[in-house]
Every structure is written in C-alpha cells, then in structure tokens.
C-alpha cells in the first residue's frame, strides 16, 4: 500500500471523503474505509502501548483499539466536548480487515472530490515524508488534508512492544 | 494423471464411480485424456478455483472416511462377525474411490479399488477378517493420509509431486485375495445373500443421518457467539436499569426476566455449537495403541468410555498430542511385559484406556493403565540423582508424583523406539496448562496409574476474578489463583525499598504490583490497603497486588487482534457485565515482564 502512496495516480484519489476537524485543521478520510461514527466512550487502557493509543472499547461485541489522532499528529490535547467522537475505520490487515477507532474533535460532512481538486503533498525539502497523507484537497474555503488510514499506523505501532521477544507462553 | 501419480492410467472411470459427485459442474468432465499434472489440467479448463474447491472438499470428506474406517476396522478386528462394521469400511472405501475417480486422482482410485475388492470378498464371506487384512487396510489408510498431505500442498498452490502407491502394498493386497482359504477358516457373514441391496440400504441410512448436519464456517459461528455475548450484556444492562427497580413485580419486570431466560438459553445453545464429542480423538489413539502394543511386544486391551462427552473443538485438537504421548508412556513404561504380568498374577493382556466425563463444569479425561504403577522410591532416588530435590526433602506422595513433570526427569531406564526420546511429561504438562487445565496423578504400586486431565469445557470462556486497579478492570484467570489476602505491615519486607516480598505462613513470596507493571495510578499505595492475590503459574508462586476485588465472572475471551500483537502480561480482552472492556491477564507474562526488568541488575 505504502509504495503506491505518493505516486498514486491522481484519478484513484478522486471520490467521497468524510471530513473532520482536529484543532484548526480540516482532514478527510476515504468514505469507503469509514465503518461508522460513534460517540466517545470510556476505554480500557492497554499496557505497553504508545501514548496516542487510548485503549480498547467494546464495539458490539468486538474489542477494537482507539487512537487519539491529536496525539498521533503531535497536536496539543484538548478537552472532550459533546462534538468529540470516534470514527471507526476499516484498515487492510494481514488477511482480514481490522477496525480501529480514531478520536477526532468533530465530524463535519461528506465531500465529493474530483481528481483536479487533489494535489500531492508538497516537498518540504528536509527529506521528511508524511506517509499517511494521501494528498491535499483544495477547496474554496481552504484545504482538507486527506488521510490514508492504511498508512496511519506502522506494523506493530499500536503495540510497540509486540516484537520484543517474550519468554512466557501466551495462552 | 494427477499429483499423485506418474503412471498413466489405462482403466477408465466407470460412470458408476463418478456418481457421488454428479451435481458438480460440467466443463471438467471433458478432460479425459490424462494430463501430466493436476494443476495444469485445471488451468487448461480455466476453473482453477472450482477445482481447488473440489479438491478441498475431497480432502475433508476423505479424512472423515478415514476416521470412520479406522474405528470400524478396529471394531472388526475384535469382532469379525460385525457386518455393520464391514459394510461401513466397504462403503467408505467405495466413496473415496468414486470421488478420486472423478478428480482423476488415479493412484488413490487404484488403491481404494484394490482394497474394495478385498473387502467385497469379506462381505461375500469369501475372505476372512484376519489381522493381516486389518493391517493392510490400516496401511492403505496410512497411504491415503499421506496422499492427502501431498494434496493439501497442491491446494495451496505448490507444484504437484508424484506419489505412487508402493508395489509392496499392492502385493500385500493381492496376497490377501489369493490367500489360501485354508489358512484361516473364513467367517461366513450372516445375511449376506442380498449383499448388494444391504449395502445400498446402509448407504441410504448413512446419507440420511448426514443430511441432518450442516457444515458452518467457524467465522460465522464466532460472529454469532460474539453477538450473543452482546445480547447477554444488553439484557443485563436492561435488567439492572434503575427505572425497572420501581417495577419489581410489575409487567415489565416480568417480560424482562422472560427475556433473560431466553437469552441465557440462546447463549447455551450457541456455546454448544462449538462443541464436538471427544470420541473422534479417542478413535485416533485407539489406532495408535494398537500399533504401539505390537511394537512393544505387549498384548493389551484398549478401553474407552465417555466418547460422547463434548468439549470445545479447539481443545480436542490441542489435546491430541498430549494424549498420544501419555498413551505411549502407559504402553511403553506403564505396562509390564506379558511374562512379568503373569508372574505378578495379573492377566497377561494389560489394560490401557481413556475415559472422559463431565464433573462440575469441567471435563475430566483419564488416561489409565493397570501396569506397574509409579514407584515413589525410584522417582525420589532419580530426583535426588538429578539434583531436583535435596536428599532429606520431606515430600508427600503427591509431591513425589509431580516430580515426573519436572523438565529433565525421565523414569524410563532405556530408550525405545516409541518413547524416551527426550519429550517428557513436562511437555505434556505445559500443553495441558496452556489449555488452562490441570493434571493429577493417582497411582498404586503394582496396580496401575491414572492421569487425570482436568480441562475447561471451552477455551472461549474463562472463569475469572474481576479486579480493579485505579479505574481499570482486569480479569485474573481463576485457575492461576491460589488464595487472596491483605498483608499485615510486619509481613512485608524489602531489601532495597522497591522490590518487595511478603511472608505468607512458611513461605516468602515476591510481590508484583500490577500498577507498576502496567504503569497505572493505583487507589492505594500501601500494601495493607491493597489486595494480594497469590498466583501460581508454571511452577512458580508470586503475589499480585491489586486495589480491590470486584467479583467473579465467566467471560468470553476476545482477542485484541493483530494490531496489538503479543502484549506481555495480557492474554486478551473480555466484555464485562456493564459493557466495558476488561483485559484478561496472563499471569506468567506479568511475572516474566517483571523478571526482564530485574534481569539487567544481575547482568
């Protein structure tokens, strides 16, 4: 997935996006990878995971991880309001798809973008890339940063100790 | 013309053998000339996916037939007059032959055809059920099993390998057929005049029995179990709703409790859908016991009971290896030789067996033999020799028995073909513990040994203590819990101010604070306000510190999924009565993670 990312044919990026706010920025997620939007709820903390992993919740019988996108993107944390919610995204996993919830400030609308609306992420000249940015959508009132949920997390990122050799037998 | 053969086949399939798969779609049937390898022929017809499906079905079905054949043949060996057993073996081979013919698996077809001919002779009373015949049938089954393994590889897309039936096996089959009938008096089978119609009637009965079953994808089953779990949670939230409390004997409360009954019934049924009888596992071990007793030169009677006892499919699968190992042990080390037995005044034929039963919410599988029994003196001496215990150690009989589970301990004084190759009882114990079970030994010197495997009914549910640390909830598997207590101030000690130990009666146990391991803020920092849970896991005891005990509940285990990988100390998640998630602790992992930190201090 990552390989296609920045060189992805522009046409493939056209489509519907669900937009949401984090602080003052507006973002977009491909609507096909949004499973549902749910209200904020108490999470059970999972030990040995990075700070942006808030824990796990019960989504109708499934245990799914919840990630704070503000923390993931390095934005200042904010108090939860009644607009704060969780977008449940469907990511491509090994074999099956995985559900991951992302905490965002506010969900706004679904927009339809055509290929000409979307531009590649500019080159910042410092050699850094943002693998999870699919492109930048130019709108009349500003831009939407389009996120590729499949590249949001690196392998094992949600449990960063996952690859540490572990002596005990996990039942 | 397949994976399984190199030689082209001359005999064409008869329409009759093709019959079992009649409804399968058409284009394939056209491939009559033998193509070199199966995958090529499949690609040529352009229906690779379909072919793979057919092969997969064939493999599944043949494995079922094989299991049936093994059982029936062993019945037959004991009771050669058993017509039903003969018919069922014959039918199974016949079905495999038909399917193999349809799929161009010609070596399988060749073998099953030959065996079928022999079995037909038995049906007609022309041939007798001899142990040679049983051997040949079992060897043919072995060939089929191996062929299926090869077939699996092809299904996975690996290149096909020729796997011809050995001439030796075919010769054996032919010899049976041509065997002089004087060698053993043929046992004429009763009511065989109309053998053809009998078998057909039999076949029809079988198919009717099978048609009451439906094969279901396990994923669908898991999803159902998941949703039912949710239903139970939703139901219990409703039942404990404040507004309902004012209506305690009213109509709504009545309806809600009616719903609760239905929900719990639905839950029980769903859970039982994952259960399979343990019988099939016993059948496999019966076959093994037969082979082993021959190799070891011991005569034995293999007894099983409680085959209908049902337990979780996963447990049955995982139980195979330990059972095989223990049966090996019993036959090899437990049973005396026939001469020794006769000298001891016992029946020269030993008894080895398996017994399964339900006991208060758990399954008990007994592996027993009436052999020489465990010699506490010998075990003790061996343990001292190996440096496992001190010479003056005072041990109860139970403790001495449990020494055989210590790694590196083996009572066998000689290495044989079948056991004593380094895989010891410690591996068996670890296996059982991984299934969250326990193992106990009962033995009387000179009269035999019984191993009791106490297993949970299912791996999907765990009985646990719900404990709280700060605002978090965790589930401690109850099998690991020895006891709980609040310590006195004067029983807590520490050398460096951070690593604590606690004295409990005559033992000093290390203290592991869950809040420190998992980086949580506990409600209480003083040990005297906290609850200490004595955990025993992997032959080790320690005290786990939590804030409070909230309750005891049976919870459905949910995997945290691949995103998290293995998190040390966490075995999974579970949905608690209030709909929230609690993590299930893996006590060994919690402790080990602790050891990893302190290890650097010793380095």
Specify whether B163 is located in the same domain as B227.
no
Task: With both helix axes pointing from N to C terminus, report the angle between B251-272 and B218-239 in degrees, rounded to the nearest 10.
Answer: 160
Tell if the pTM clears 0.80, that is, is over it. Answer: no
B86 has pLDDT over 90: no
Tens of pLDDT, residue by residue over A58-96, are: 888 788 899 999 998 888 888 888 899 999 999 876 666
pLDDT at B113: 86
Return the domain boundaries, chain A: 10-151
* Separation in Å, CA of B586 to nearest CA in chain A: 7
Specify whether B46 is located in the same domain as B187.
yes
Mean pLDDT of B579-601: 69
Length of chain A: 171
* Separation in Å, CA of B465 to nearest CA in chain A: 17
Are B575 and A45 in contact (CB < 8 Å)?
no
* Separation in Å, CA of B475 to nearest CA in chain A: 12
- B291 located within any domain: yes
Answer with the one of B178, B194, B210 that is the final residue of a domain: B210
* Separation in Å, CA of A142 to nearest CA in chain B: 34
B139 has pLDDT over 80: yes
What residue has token string 């592996």?
B367
Specify whether B435 is located in the same domain as B355.
yes
Residue A157's pLDDT band, with cuts at 50, 70 and 90, is low
Tens of pLDDT, residue by residue over B146-173, are: 888 888 888 877 777 777 778 888 888 8
For B381, the 3-state DSSP assignment is helix
Nearest to A171 among B564, B571, B595 (CB): B571
Output B287-296 pairs: Cβ under 8 A, ≥24 positions apart: B287/B70, B287/B74, B287/B138, B288/B324, B288/B327, B288/B328, B289/B327, B289/B331, B289/B352, B290/B74, B290/B77, B292/B327, B292/B328, B292/B331, B292/B332, B292/B418, B293/B331, B295/B417, B295/B418, B296/B331, B296/B332, B296/B335, B296/B416, B296/B418
Which residues does chain A have within 8 Å of residue B230's beta carbon, measured at their own beta carbons?
Answer: 60-61
| Fold of domain A10-151 | OB fold (Dihydrolipoamide Acetyltransferase, E2P) (2.40.50)
Answer with the one of B230, B258, B274 that is the final residue of a domain: B274
Percent of chain B past pLDDT 90, that is, above it, reads: 8
Name the residue range of residue B569's domain.
Answer: 461-602
SS in 3 state form for B104-135?
CCHHHHHHHHHHHHHHHHHHCCCCCCCHHHHH
Nearest to B434 among A46, A167, A171 (CB): A171
* Separation in Å, CA of B431 to nearest CA in chain A: 10
- B6 located within any domain: no
Rounded Cα gap, residues B233 and B575, in angstroms: 8
For B304, the 3-state DSSP assignment is strand
pLDDT at A165: 33
Specify whether B54 is located in the same domain as B145.
yes
Contact B1, B41 (CB under 8 A): yes
Give me the number of domains chain B comprises: 4
Which residues does chain B have within 8 Å of residue A45's beta carbon, measured at their own beta carbons?
Answer: 472, 518, 520
Rounded Cα gap, residues B551 and B209, in angstroms: 45
Which residues does chain B have within 8 Å of residue A43's beta carbon, measured at their own beta carbons?
Answer: 581
A167 has pLDDT over 50: no
**Burial degree of B439 (CB within 10 A; 0-12, 13-18, 19+):** buried
pLDDT at B416: 44
- B508 located within any domain: yes
Nearest to A171 among B517, B520, B586 (CB): B586
- B106 located within any domain: yes
pLDDT at B516: 87
Residues 6+ apart with CB under 8 A from B383: B389, B400, B403, B406, B409
B224 has pLDDT over 90: no
pLDDT at A144: 92
Are B575 and A158 in contact (CB < 8 Å)?
no
- B149 located within any domain: yes
Specify whether B40 is located in the same domain as B170.
yes
- B576 located within any domain: yes
DSSP letters for B187-230: -PPTT-TTHHHHHHHHHHHHHHHHTT-----HHHHHHHHHHHHH
Residue B466's pLDDT band, with cuts at 50, 70 and 90, is very high
Specify whether B296 is located in the same domain as B402.
yes
CA atoms within 13 A on the CB side of B329: 26
Are A158 and B436 in contact (CB < 8 Å)?
no
A145 has pLDDT over 60: yes
Tens of pLDDT, residue by residue over B34-61, are: 433 343 333 333 334 557 777 888 888 8
B544 has pLDDT over 90: yes
Tens of pLDDT, residue by residue over B556-566, are: 788 787 677 77
pLDDT at B356: 92
More confident residue, B29 or A28: A28
- B2 located within any domain: no
Residue A155's pLDDT band, with cuts at 50, 70 and 90, is low
pLDDT at B600: 35
pLDDT at A68: 92
Looking at the DSSP bridge assignments, the partners of residue B453 are B365, B439
Nearest to A156 among B518, B565, B570 (CB): B565
B355 has pLDDT over 90: yes
Which residues does chain B have within 8 Å of residue A93's beta carbon, measured at their own beta carbons?
Answer: 562-563
Q: Is B482 on the interface with A (CB under 8 A)?
A: no
Tens of pLDDT, residue by residue over A93-129, are: 666 678 899 999 999 999 999 888 888 888 888 777 7
- B34 located within any domain: yes
The answer to which of B273-287, B298-312, B560-574, B584-598 has the lowest mean pLDDT is: B584-598
Contact B492, B502 (CB under 8 A): yes
Residue B276's pLDDT band, with cuts at 50, 70 and 90, is confident
Size of interface A-B (CB pairs under 8 A): 114
Specify whether B34 is located in the same domain as B110.
yes
Which residues does chain A have within 8 Å of residue B514's beta carbon, measured at their own beta carbons?
Answer: none
Longest CA–CA span in chain B (Å) reads 89
* Separation in Å, CA of B521 to nearest CA in chain A: 12
Q: Is B517 on the interface with A (CB under 8 A)?
A: yes
For B426, the 3-state DSSP assignment is helix
Specify whether B353 is located in the same domain as B427.
yes
Q: Are strands A15-22 and A25-30 parallel, antiparallel or unpaired?
A: antiparallel
DSSP letters for B502-557: EEETTEEEEEEEHHHHTT---S--SGGGSEEEEEEETTEEEEEEESEEEEEEEEEE
Residues 6+ apart with CB under 8 A from B128: B80, B122, B181, B184, B185, B186, B187
* Separation in Å, CA of B274 to nearest CA in chain A: 18
Rounded Cα gap, residues B354 and B257, in angstroms: 42
Specify whether B146 is located in the same domain as B226.
no
Specify whether B49 is located in the same domain as B23.
yes
Are A159 and B581 in contact (CB < 8 Å)?
no
The answer to which of A8-17, A96-105, B115-124, B349-358 has the lowest mean pLDDT is: A8-17
The CATH number covering residue B407 comes to: 3.30.565.10
Residues 6+ apart with CB under 8 A from B220: none
Q: Is B561 on the interface with A (CB under 8 A)?
A: yes
The CATH number covering residue B39 comes to: 1.20.120.160
Specify whether B438 is located in the same domain as B562.
no
pLDDT at A37: 95
Interface residue ranges in chain A relative to chain B, Cβ cutoff 8 Å? 42-49, 55-58, 60-65, 93-94, 98, 100, 153, 156, 158-159, 161-164, 166-171
Test mutation, B565, B577, B595, B597, chain A, max A CBs within 10 A: B565
B460 has pLDDT over 90: no
Are A48 and B592 in contact (CB < 8 Å)?
no
Which residues does chain A have within 8 Å of residue B520's beta carbon, measured at their own beta carbons?
Answer: 45, 47
pLDDT at B475: 94
B4 has pLDDT over 80: no
Are A47 and B569 in contact (CB < 8 Å)?
yes
Answer with the one of B434, B456, B478 that is the final residue of a domain: B456
Residue B422's pLDDT band, with cuts at 50, 70 and 90, is very low
Specify whether B196 is located in the same domain as B345.
no
């Amino acid at each position: 997935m990552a390989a296609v990312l920045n060189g992805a044919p522009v046409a493939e990026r056209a489509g519907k996006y669900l937009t949401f706010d984090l602080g003052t920025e507006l973002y977009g997620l491909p609507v096909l990878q949004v499973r549902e939007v749910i209200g904020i709820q108490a999470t059970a903390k999972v030990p040995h995971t990075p700070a942006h992993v808030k824990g796990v919740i019960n989504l109708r019988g499934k245990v799914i991880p919840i990630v704070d996108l503000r923390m993931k993107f390095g934005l200042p944390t904010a108090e939860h309001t009644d607009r704060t919610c969780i977008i449940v995204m469907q990511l491509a996993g090994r074999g099956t798809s995985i559900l991951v919830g992302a905490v965002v400030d506010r969900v706004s609308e679904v927009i339809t973008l055509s290929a000409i609306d979307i531009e590649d992420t500019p080159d910042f000249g410092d050699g850094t890339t943002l693998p999870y940015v699919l492109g930048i959508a130019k709108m009349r009132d500003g831009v939407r940063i389009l996120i590729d949920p499949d590249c949001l997390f690196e392998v094992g990122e949600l449990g960063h100790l996952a690859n540490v050799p572990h002596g005990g037998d996990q039942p | 013309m397949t994976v399984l053969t190199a030689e082209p086949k001359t005999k064409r399939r008869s329409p009759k053998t093709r019959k079992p798969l009649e409804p399968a779609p058409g284009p394939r049937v056209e491939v009559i000339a033998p193509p070199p390898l199966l995958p090529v022929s499949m690609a040529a017809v352009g229906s690779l996916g379909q072919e793979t499906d057919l092969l997969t079905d064939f493999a599944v079905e043949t494995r079922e037939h094989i299991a049936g054949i093994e059982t029936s043949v062993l019945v037959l060996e004991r009771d050669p007059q058993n017509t039903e057993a003969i018919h069922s073996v014959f039918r199974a081979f016949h079905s495999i032959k038909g399917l193999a013919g349809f799929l161009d698996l010609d070596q399988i077809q060749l073998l099953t055809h030959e065996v079928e001919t022999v079995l037909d002779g038995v049906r007609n009373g022309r041939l007798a059920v001899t142990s040679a015949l049983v051997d040949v049938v079992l060897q043919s089954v072995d060939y089929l099993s191996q062929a299926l393994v090869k077939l699996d590889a092809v299904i996975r897309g690996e290149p096909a390998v020729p796997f011809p039936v050995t001439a030796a096996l075919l010769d054996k089959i032919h010899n049976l057929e041509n065997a002089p009938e004087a060698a053993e008096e043929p046992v004429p089978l009763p009511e065989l005049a109309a053998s053809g119609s009998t078998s057909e009637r039999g076949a029809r009965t079988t198919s009717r029995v099978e048609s009451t079953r439906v094969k279901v994808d396990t994923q669908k089953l898991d999803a159902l179990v998941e949703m039912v779990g949710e239903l139970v949670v939703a139901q219990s939230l409703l039942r404990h709703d404040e507004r309902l409390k004012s209506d305690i004997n009213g109509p709504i409360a009545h309806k809600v409790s009616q719903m609760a009954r239905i929900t719990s019934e639905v839950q029980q049924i769903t859970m039982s859908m994952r259960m399979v009888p343990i019988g099939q596992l016993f059948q496999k071990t019966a076959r093994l016991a037969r082979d082993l007793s021959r190799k070891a030169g011991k005569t034995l009677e293999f007894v099983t009971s409680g085959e209908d006892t049902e337990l979780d499919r996963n447990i049955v699968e995982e139980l195979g290896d330990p059972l095989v190992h223990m049966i090996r042990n019993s036959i090899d080390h437990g049973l005396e030789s026939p001469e020794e037995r006769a000298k001891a005044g016992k029946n020269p034929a030993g008894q080895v067996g398996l017994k399964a039963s339900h006991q208060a919410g758990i399954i008990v599988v007994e592996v027993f033999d009436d052999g020489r029994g465990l010699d506490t003196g010998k075990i003790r001496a061996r343990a001292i020799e190996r440096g496992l215990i001190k010479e003056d150690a005072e041990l109860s009989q139970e403790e001495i028995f449990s020494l055989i589970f210590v790694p590196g301990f083996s009572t066998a004084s000689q290495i044989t073909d079948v056991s004593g190759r380094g895989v010891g009882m410690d591996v068996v114990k670890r296996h059982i513990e991984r299934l969250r079970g326990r193992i106990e030994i009962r033995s009387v010197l000179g009269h035999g040994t019984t191993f009791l495997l106490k297993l949970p009914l299912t791996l999907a549910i765990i009985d646990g203590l719900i404990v709280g640390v700060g605002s978090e909830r965790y589930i401690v598997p109850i099998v690991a819990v020895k006891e709980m207590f609040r310590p006195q101030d004067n029983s807590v000690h520490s050398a460096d101010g951070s690593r604590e130990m606690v004295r409990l009666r005559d033992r000093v146990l290390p203290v592991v604070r869950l809040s420190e391991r998992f980086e949580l803020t506990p409600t209480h920092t003083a040990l005297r306000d906290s609850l200490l849970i004595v955990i025993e896991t992997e032959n080790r005891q320690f005290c786990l510190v939590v804030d409070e005990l909230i309750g005891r509940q049976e919870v459905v285990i949910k995997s945290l999924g691949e995103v998290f990988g293995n998190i040390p100390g966490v075995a999974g998640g579970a949905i608690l009565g209030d709909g929230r998630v609690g993590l299930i602790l893996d006590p060994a992992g919690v402790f080990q993670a602790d050891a990893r930190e302190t290890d650097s201090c010793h380095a």
